[in-house]
Chains A and B, each alone.
Chain A
Amino acid sequence: MTARNAHFWTGGARGELCLLRCSACRHWIHPPAPICPACLARDVAPEAVSGRARVATFTVNHQSWIPGFDPPYLVAIVELDEQRGLRLTTNLVKCAIEDVRIDMRVRVVFEERDDVWIPLFEPAE
């Protein structure tokens, strides 16, 4: 972790999903960069999003790639409600594999792993 990404991986301690946001034009920035890509302002700071999103796409992974990740598991790209194209790659949890659909509504939950809080998403009504 660095000063540039700590907000993302530790915001879960407070139950918050934090992304960088431009202080000038309010554009959300992800992955983190020290400049706003919309207005080029250098004043960017972490801010909490609602944690609400929809599934842009997903895959059911059946292959074992990393120790500790036991297949099958759901990997998804979710698009946050705050801004078009503001996306995260994540895991979908508390969701049966056969129930996943593109465009389904999800919300953030956190899993504490060592000293970081991993943002995951679960189905939302």
Chain B
Amino acid sequence: MKGLEGRAAISGIGQSQVGRRLGRDAMDLTLDACLDAIADAGLDRSDIDGVATYPGGWFGPSGFSGPGIPELQDALRLNLNWYAGGPEAAGQLGSVIEAVAAVACGFAKHVLCFRTVWESTAQGGGGRAGIGTPSGGGSGKGFRASGIMEWTLPYGAASAAVWIAMFAQRHMHEYGTTRAQLAQIALNARHNAALNPKAIYREPMSLDDYFAARMISTPFCLFDCDVPVDGSTAVIVSRTDCARDLLRPPLRVEAVGTALRGRPSWDQFDDLTTMAMRDAGAMLWERTDLRPADVDVAELYDGFSFLAMAWLEALGFCGKGEGGAFVEGGARIALTGELPLNTHGGQLSAGRLHGYGFLHEAAVQLWGDGGARQVHGDPRVAVAAAGGGPLGGCLLLVRD
């Protein structure tokens, strides 16, 4: 630990019901997760003096976010010293990292961080929605895109699936990465999901099943894309010295990565085989004396399979361009492997909780609560990372 982030620790976690088309109110899900996390830490709501969230209240397409901080604060009548919510952060976990900074600076003692999605209910039976498309259907005639969508929507590139597929394609071109290698991210997730009662897709999946799936945007097939769900996840970030007497051994934040040193863009980044994660990953190791070999378990964003592979490279678990070879055959990233990956099933099989699910699972593993999917050998160091494209943030957690 070289920075101040070690003054902060994860002290509790919570999660609502997670499922497809639950039809439940987003605030209701959020309260379930938040109250669960507060109780998990052994705290009372009166102890919570900070709140952080991504991407803020009711931001983006329907279902992309739930309530904002004011609604949650008011519902629980929280007395806050610090709060922050919004989409312009180092990825989804950037909100947690902001809480870490606030705690390390002494702005707050116990920060409740949450992320709520209800995309499955919002998208209904109509299938996965494009981003920034005109609402209400129709021909779209006369519709004008704005913001970053101005440069992609006129080309039918209305989803991160399309944007990230082009990074995967370039990676294959430069490094010879194959779809069979990419498949290992999905197969590993599915295998782990079978051991997670809350996962969405738990039935076995073979490499043949993978290759038989319909294509979404080459090289991605259906199983390279995560599954939208409804659910809310919460974590408590506490001052480490205030966390020692709580129910759980604190998970100290050894280091964080938030850097974005290239252009903040889906198509103008200097290297089309990696993304913001390259810089966030590099920064994380600049802030600690621990090394990738010290990590016992890795929970890496897999909104699309390729992103987890790119995070493996970005975090130095293998060399640049070696992600395909690293996951080849799947043994290395299995629960019993040298670097267990996405032990809950990732977003690919456990559901798109949008970043927070990885941090939640890192804590589950470090506290030994994984049940049938628990990594053996008493894991003490975990990395959680989230984001793709210009979004990227990561945390290294240590149970001392």
Q: Which residues of A contact B (CB under 8 A)?
A: 1, 5, 30-31, 56-63, 65-69, 73, 75-77, 85, 87-91, 102, 113-114, 116, 118
Query: Are the CB atoms of B155 and A60 closer together than 8 Å?
Result: no
Partner of A66, one of B128, B140, B169, B217: B140
Query: Which B residues are CB-close (under 8 A) to A65?
Result: 129-130, 133, 156, 158-159, 162
A sample of 30 inter-chain contacts (CB < 8 A) reads A1-B144, A31-B150, A57-B173, A59-B219, A60-B217, A60-B218, A61-B217, A61-B218, A62-B215, A63-B217, A65-B129, A65-B162, A66-B130, A66-B133, A67-B137, A67-B138, A67-B139, A67-B140, A68-B139, A68-B140, A76-B166, A85-B268, A85-B270, A87-B268, A88-B151, A89-B157, A89-B163, A89-B267, A114-B141, A116-B154
Does the CB pair A77–B218 fall under 8 Å? no
Q: CA of A35 to CA of B155 in the docked complex: distance in angstroms?
A: 27
Judge whether B152 is part of the interface by a CB distance below 8 angstroms: yes
Interface positions of B (Cβ within 8 A of A):
128-130, 133, 137-142, 144, 150-159, 161-163, 165-167, 169-170, 173, 214-220, 266-268, 270, 272
**What would 13 more interface pairs be, CB under 8 Å, given A68-B141, A89-B267?**
A56-B170, A57-B169, A59-B220, A60-B217, A61-B165, A65-B162, A75-B217, A77-B272, A89-B151, A89-B163, A91-B155, A118-B154, A118-B155
Report chain B residues within 8 Å CB of A89: 151-152, 155, 157, 163, 266-267
B154, B158, B217: the one within 8 Å of A62 (CB)? B217
Helix, strand, loop or mixed for chain B's interface? loop
Q: Are B166 and A59 in contact (CB under 8 A)?
A: yes
Identify whether the interface residues of A are mostly helix, strand, loop, or mixed: strand
Would B268 and A63 count as touching, CB distance under 8 A?
A: no
